[in-house]
Amino acid sequence: MWIKELRGAKILDSRGHPTIGVEVNGCRASSPEGKSKGKHETKPYCESLDWSIHLIDVLKIPYEINSFDDLIKVENLIKDQFGFKNVHQFGANALFALESAILKALAKEQKKELWQIINPKARKFPIPVGNAIGGGLHSENFVIHPTFQEFLLIPQEKSFEKNVKMMNSIYTKIGKLLHAEEKNDEGAWQLAMDNTQVLDILSEFAKDARIGLDVASSSFYKYGFYLSGEKTLNKEEHIEYINNLIKKYNLFYVEDPVQEEDFDGFRKINKEKTLVVGDDLTVTHFDRVKGAIKDKAINAMIIKPNQNGSLLDVRRIFELCKKNKIKTVLSHRSGETMDSAIADYAFGFGADYFKCGISTPWREAKLNRMIEIERSLK
């Protein structure tokens, strides 16, 4: 495939904030925009969104692209043409949208599904992880809200489609039970409750789905202490608090239970029956993932393609995790677009879990795309 048309554009995400779209040979891709960001994330753009769009508009790709591996030609060209030491200087959002648009165009030309460009033999479907009740940085417009950022449902049905139906059923029941009306950035219910009150509610549905948390501890870690609601805890007290919650509520999944620099603290979180998931800790960067594995800090990790930008790097991280028996969770961002490509990436790369919310059109687009893939292979 020769790239005949290439242009960037400014579009709006689900929060109404600007993000980047890229069109290659008539095929469009876009990047989401995160709100809760790890401080080690790659910058989304080179200098600015407008400057990244300019770089895409002047980029000339004089190579034929015939496979996923040919993305290396694009990445090397970007470094050479713009004088970057590494391709991530191009900006993670810009690079991800560009590479995604190229792969979509390639799939169209070869009359394949997007996931087939990555792995035509893929057959494993991930388990959805749904954000049912929100807190933290995603619910700042509520004066009273949970400190933890996400309260999650992980169903256990026999198909992806049935799992989605179960998540939706529980989510709807919670809304009716609590007369909830407000939703946050990710479509999760917003409730004027504390962490324990929310966990008590979710525990009523534990027979239908496992319970998880995105603690997002870095968001309330200040001056060496965790300011969780009315509590002020030091490191040891916070670790004890999280481990007690794991035991009391039989938590299956706990994301970012301690702050993003504390590899040692992650190691002390109970992993016997629980996925201890790195996100701000690892930020989809190969070296930080490698370090977390070496330190035995995690047994699962979030992978957000637009945290890194390079889909080649994303594949390397999946391969590293699989080699070391680390569960993988391919994830959306809070500011999403209607682009459903991450469903193809979750399936093609063989993710164990797929975290993309439950409600709102932007989340449903991803879930429906995965259901479409599942139906096509039955």
Q: Which of 140 and 262 is assigned the larger pLDDT?
A: 262
Displacement of CA 227 from its chain's centroid (Å): 25
Of 263, 259, 243, which Cα lies nearest the Cα of 251? 243
Of 151, 126, 184, 221, which Cα lies nearest the Cα of 334? 184
pLDDT band at 143 (very low <50, low <70, confident <90, very high): low
Residue intervals in the chain for CATH 3.20.20.120: 127-376
- 38 pLDDT more than 90: no
3-class SS at 82?
A: helix
pLDDT in tens, 309-347: 999 999 999 999 999 999 999 999 989 999 999 999 999
**Could you tell me if 308 and 43 are in contact, meaning their C-beta atoms sit under 8 angstroms apart?**
no
What pLDDT does residue 185 have?
A: 84
Determine which helix (DSSP H) or strand (DSSP E) holds 311, and give its type and residue range: helix 311-323
What is the dotted CATH code of the domain comprising 127-376? 3.20.20.120
What pLDDT does residue 181 have?
A: 85
Residue intervals in the chain for CATH 3.30.390.10: 6-115
- 294 pLDDT more than 70: yes
- Contacting residues for 335 by C-beta, under 8 A, at least 6 apart: 13, 14, 15, 17, 19, 32, 33, 34, 35, 185
β-bridge partners, 27: 24
pTM higher than the cut 0.85: yes
pLDDT in tens, 40-55: 889 999 999 999 999 9
- 142 pLDDT more than 60: no
Relative to beta strand 327-331, strand 6-12 is unpaired
What pLDDT does residue 36 have?
A: 63
What pLDDT does residue 228 have?
A: 77
Average pLDDT of span 173-191: 90
Q: Which residues are catalytic?
A: 186, 304
What pLDDT does residue 32 have?
A: 96
* Integer Cα distance of 314 and 233 in angstroms: 35
Classify domain 6-115 at the CATH topology level.
Enolase-like; domain 1 (3.30.390)
